[in-house]
Homo-oligomer: A and B are copies of this chain.
Amino acid sequence: MSKAYEELQPYLEKAMALQTAMVLFEWDDETLAPKEAGAYTSKVIGTLSEEYLEKITCDEVKRLIAECKEDKTLSEVEAAIVREVADELEKLECIPPKEYREFAQLSAESTRIWAEARKNKDFEAFAPTLQKVIDYQKKFASYRAKDGQKLYDVMLDTYEKDFNMEALDEFFRQLKDAIVPLLKEIMKHGKKIDDSFLTGDYPVEKQEEIAKYLAEYVGFDFDKGVLAVSAHPFTTNLHNHDVRITTAYNEHVDDSIFSVIHEAGHGIYELGIRDELTQTMVGQGASMGMHESQSRFFENIIGRNRAFWVPVYGKLQELFPEQLGDIDLDTFIDAINKVQPSLIRTQADELTYSLHVMIRYEIEKMLMEENLEVEKLPDVWADKYEEYLGVRPKDVSEGVLQDIHWSQGSFGYFPSYALGSAFGAQLYARMKKEMDFEGLLEEGKIDVIREYLKDHIHQFGKLKTSREILKDVTGEDFSPKYYIEYLTEKYRKIYEL
């Protein structure tokens, strides 16, 4: 280990400890913290985040990073860590510490104001806060923009490198061109699917039981993990021995089933990261897109696959004999793959999902590049849903207030959901060449699939970018065609077109 690299370690250790603490506060806030704690706790979080900033951007770290960058003796992992710290440093040092801290505090408050506004279906109650969040994000992006780079491109880069507006416009255009006509055809000529039995009196305790069972079945290790309840399902991790997922239970049993498999996918990614990488700057998933590729791979390519349910469906019937006792496997599989243009992204079917994402992408562009006024958001939102999906929200809780992301300042994040689905389909196409994918699922040998993903993706953390991973696994650069082929083939078959 070089001297400069060694001297850097205590700073990084402290920065990571502070970050881990902030993760725990966020987890706690979403799952358990009492109602009135927020205002006080957000001050604590603000202080910790300022401290984190100071650790990464102090003169000593700057000097050491500069030295390390010149050091050719560093190992691959060491060099990757230096690269990540340099990136983070560059991102952070252009933000005045005072603003950074103010935003950390604002963002903690903002999610609570959003949650309250959503509950009360009251956009006005959230609008001023959202405006502040947007102003901060624009300001931060402007600090970071290089050579006339557009603000929204700066934001996109945070979540997925090498996918700017130009690339995403083209990606979404191809998707739209394929999905919109297919959707119309399905609605007009596809066979009729009944999924009404998925909604009803599904007792929460039994939903909890199947949620835990499925998470474990797909490989989420409860010795290193936790499953809890929160308003909006999410995954977080302290390190690769403490990964936490949440879900929410309602009268639609498929909501909790697939959100748990989805979050378990995120969780399995984090659990699979190498020990030597965890709690370092490269100890997380490669990117948001690659993360979503894994969660959506588990949710859809595995979880909505007929083969997956062959050994498992009986267990579900056993738990819910009244609701599912008379429903045969094929009827169930059709139901969980039913296409139905709808209002809520997280409950959307696999086919229309990308259209939900595209709407958010287009609106974010308008907010960041065309100064769309916040007050107009509910109408713009509703108009786009009407245009692309033919449905219109009756209030903001099922419209513009449905997602937590903007309240946290996560602009540029949404596209990674669609990108992730496309990454996943490209990986799936390759894996089918190397293994009897559906055969393994039917035999309950999901561990073979999981180990493949761990070996080829999870273990590397941030050592590789998404594009590098795709290239190494599939031998090709990213291409949306696999996703389009996957959707087209799957849904033409289900709808007998």
Contacts and interface: CB of A to CB of B under 8 A. Distances in A.
A36 B279 contact: no
B279 A224 contact: no
Given A17-B47, A44-B279, A279-B43, A242 B25 contact: no
A238 B35 contact: no
A37 B39 CA distance: 29
A24 B28 CA distance: 9
Interface in A215-258: 222-226, 228, 238-242
A226 to B, nearest CB: 6
Interface in A8-54: 13-14, 16-18, 20-21, 24-25, 28, 32-37, 39-41, 43-44, 47-48, 51
A278 interface: yes
Contacts of A17: 43-44, 47-48, 51
Contacts of A37: 224, 238-239, 241-242
A47 B239 CA distance: 15
Contacts of A18: 48, 51
Nearest to A37: B242
A28 B241 CA distance: 14
Contacts of A279: 40, 43-44
Query: Chain copies in the assembly?
Result: 2
Contacts of A36: 223-224, 241-242
A44 B21 contact: yes
A20 B18 CA distance: 12
B34 A20 contact: no
Nearest to A43: B279
Interface of A is mostly: helix
A44 B238 contact: yes
A401 to B, nearest CB: 23
A302 B43 CA distance: 36
A34 B239 contact: no
A179 to B, nearest CB: 40
B226 A40 contact: no
A18 B18 CA distance: 9
A402 to B, nearest CB: 26
A24 B241 CA distance: 18
A244 to B, nearest CB: 8
Interface string A269-284: 0000000001100000
A28 B28 contact: yes
A166 to B, nearest CB: 41
Nearest to A17: B47
Nearest to A54: B14
Given A47-B17, A51-B14, A226 B41 contact: no
A35 B278 contact: no
Nearest to A38: B241
A20 B48 CA distance: 10
Given A41-B242, A239-B41, A25 B21 contact: yes
Residue of A44, A48, A239, A278 with most chain B CB atoms under a 10 A cut-off: A44
Contact of A34 (B24, B25, B32, B242): B242
Contacts of A33: 226, 242
Contacts of A228: 32
Contacts of A24: 21, 24-25, 28
A225 B32 CA distance: 10
Interface in A45-66: 47-48, 51
A49 B235 CA distance: 27
A47 B13 contact: yes
A33 to B, nearest CB: 6
A17 B48 CA distance: 6
Contacts of A48: 17-18, 21
Nearest to A48: B17
Contacts of A16: 44, 47
Given A32-B226, A40-B241, 5 more contacts: A16-B47, A21-B21, A21-B44, A36-B223, A40-B278
Interface of A: 13-14, 16-18, 20-21, 24-25, 28, 32-37, 39-41, 43-44, 47-48, 51, 222-226, 228, 238-242, 278-279
Question: What 10 pairs across the A-B complex have the smallest Cβ distances?
Answer: A37-B242, A17-B47, A21-B21, A17-B44, A40-B239, A35-B223, A36-B241, A36-B224, A40-B241, A20-B44
18 contacts: A17-B43, A17-B47, A17-B48, A18-B48, A20-B44, A24-B25, A34-B222, A34-B224, A35-B224, A36-B241, A37-B239, A37-B242, A41-B239, A41-B241, A41-B242, A44-B238, A44-B239, A44-B279
